[in-house]
Amino acid sequence: MTPMQAADVEAFVPLATRFNHVDEVIAFLTELGTSPMTEPGLVELDHALQCAAELKAIRPDDLALQVAGLVHDICHGRCHIRDHDRVGAAAVRPVFGDRVANLVALHVDAKRYLVVADENYRARLSAVSLKTLELQGGTMDAAEIAAFEAHPDAQDACLLRKADEAAKEPGRDVPGLDAWIDTLRHVAAMRP
């Protein structure tokens, strides 16, 4: 099977989730606090919070990047592993705008890119992430690399992706969802 095409993804989104207001995103993230993750010993909200915390440490002033880290896997449990990037992007675009959505959309391609472009990256992948890499299309070929690098959000998507790999640590103490409410509301209010 081939990954869903863009038009198919748009049609699929209402079956999964499409958010219209930041309060809906906050409520959904809250639900992820009881949703087991595919990585052992974590719920989905743990992973989101650890990813956002990583990005805040790297780019403290880039609130949109941090929010992208918080929501990058928001449709992970609602659709196929191949498509959760684009389904998630379409779901959050109405609330947070294009930059957050584009970063979400690129986070799987960033993994496929980094396993070729960064010799140290593959060793950071979890066993689950290595397994899903093949389902997600495997490593990029030369044409895919060129297309990825041409995207204006490509380098920030790589930052998000590296934070993603570092956000799978059971029991890690990071700020909870309450600490992100003002940031989520701010980025939603500032969307172009």
- Using the contact rule CB under 5 A, the part of the chain among 13-21, 65-73, 83-91, 149-157 near Fe ion is 65-73
Q: Is 97 left (phi over 0), alpha (psi -120 to 50) or beta?
A: left
Name which of 54 and 164 has its Cβ closer to Fe ion. Answer: 164
Instruction: Tell the smallest beta-carbon distance from residue 191 to Fe ion (Å).
Output: 22
| Integer Cα distance of 151 and 131 in angstroms | 26
Residue 164 touches Fe ion, criterion: CB under 5 A? yes
Q: Toward Fe ion, which CB reaches closer, 109 or 164? A: 164
Quick one: angle between helices 154-165 and 98-117, nearest 10? 70
Rounded Cα–Cα distance for residues 19 and 28 (Å):
9
Q: Is 44 near Fe ion (CB under 5 A)?
A: no
**Residue closer to Fe ion (CB basis): 129 or 139:** 129
User: Which among 8-16, 22-30, 147-155, 163-171 is the span making contact with Fe ion, rule CB under 5 A?
Assistant: 163-171
Is residue 73 a contact residue for Fe ion (CB under 5 A)? yes
What residue spans of 17-120 are helical by DSSP H? Answer: 22-31, 44-58, 63-71, 84-96, 98-117
Closest to Fe ion by CB, 37 vs 90, is 37
Separation CA 1–CA 14 (nearest Å): 22
- Using CB under 5 A, list all residues that contact Fe ion: 73, 164
